Structure 1
């Protein structure tokens, strides 16, 4: 995460957007721009609960918001999903984004990051499964050896 996003100014922005969003919620009419700004801040947070809330708000905007802004919603959905380690969702979002704008370098870099992390998580998963299988086979071998006595 970029250090300037975690500065006191960033948290000031979060607070301002959050207050505006909740005021509009009370009135029953949230402007999509307000929702986007608040979701944008939440997705950039370091806290998973904030990121999850930001992703939910972005998903709502994607389904009900401005059609011209769907590209932006997709990008931040991919960012948020990546930060939550939901790589298959993130890859789906970034591929949809790249379908619309294939030459976007930032999106290409994010896609590469997602794929790299998926590969790393896959290797970790295989190591865990392999270790568990080795432990089980060791216990079975020990059980057989003890049974022969």
Structure 2
């Protein structure tokens, strides 16, 4: 899967429901496993905004828990960055990825995600600027038309 897809792709409802049910089943009998929690968080991150926030919270719990391998913690950190990017918390997402790259400068996944987020920031910046200029242009035309009618 391309990292750009992680930033825009939505979960399929079936996958989310299956992961949620597995998580809730384990939760009802005690503490859910890291695997069930991660899978549920993964699908939440690719859903609506409130779900993304819950996914980030679950990943944060996994990061703060003990017993996870370094590789697992890197996965949790990476997907936390993805979640923040999906919420447009780009600064925080980039900080998390920079932290991963400080630890391992050869982490290609973090590099590629960082580049994708930086592209997204530029794209959204241009879209926002274009929207602002369109609104200003529309107001200017409206005012000019109104002024001409008053003459």
Q: TM-score, normalised by structure 1?
A: 0.72
Are the counterparts in 2 of residues 94 and 111 from structure 1 also a CA contact under 8 Å? yes
- Structure with the greater relative contact order (CA < 8 A, sep ≥ 6): 1 or 2? 2
Instruction: Write out per-residue CA displacement over residues 32-86 of structure 1, whole angstroms, 9 at most, x where no aligned residue.
Output: 343123223443x4x3355443233113323x32374432211011223334544
Structure 1 runs not aligned, ≥5 long? none
RMSD: 3.1
In structure 2, the partner of 1:48 is 48
Are the counterparts in 2 of residues 71 and 100 from structure 1 also a CA contact under 8 Å? no
- Equivalent-residue separation in structure 1 for 2:60 and 2:96 (angstroms): 11
Structure 2 runs not aligned, ≥5 long? none
| 1:93 maps onto 2:108 in alignment | no
In structure 1, the partner of 2:28 is 26
| 1:60 maps onto 2:49 in alignment | no
The number of aligned residues is 139
**Comparing 105-114 with 78-87, which one deviates more in the overlay?**
78-87
